[in-house]
Amino acid sequence: MALAVRMRGEGKSLREIATELAVDHHTIIRDLRRWEDRVSATGAKVVHFPGASRPAGGNLHQPVAPPATTGEVLGLTAKEEAMTRAIASLTNRR
């Protein structure tokens, strides 16, 4: 039903929607009427926004830059990383 509503909002005719969803156009009419009844019962307003319905990069999170240092990879603070480097240099274990 929501897909039919979305397609109708995109300006498609009832028969176009019915053909794409492989149902009779009377089914689409009933679905749209049920949708209108639900929306009017809840008092919700349908607002159409111009443009794409998804962000440009998609719904997935954008990749985060990898940590720059070994300490960041290990989850060490800057102070802990400095102490680790100092100990490694004293023990010749770089």
The pLDDT tens digits for 29-65 are 998 888 888 877 776 665 555 555 555 655 566 666 6
What is residue 93's predicted lDDT score, i.e. its pLDDT?
A: 57
What is residue 80's predicted lDDT score, i.e. its pLDDT?
A: 85
Q: Is 8 exposed, middle or buried (0-12, 13-18, 19+ CB in 10 A)?
A: middle
**Quick check: helix, strand or coil at residue 79?**
helix
What is residue 45's predicted lDDT score, i.e. its pLDDT?
A: 61
What is residue 4's predicted lDDT score, i.e. its pLDDT?
A: 87
Distances (CA, A) of 4 to 14, 33, 38, 78: 9, 11, 14, 55
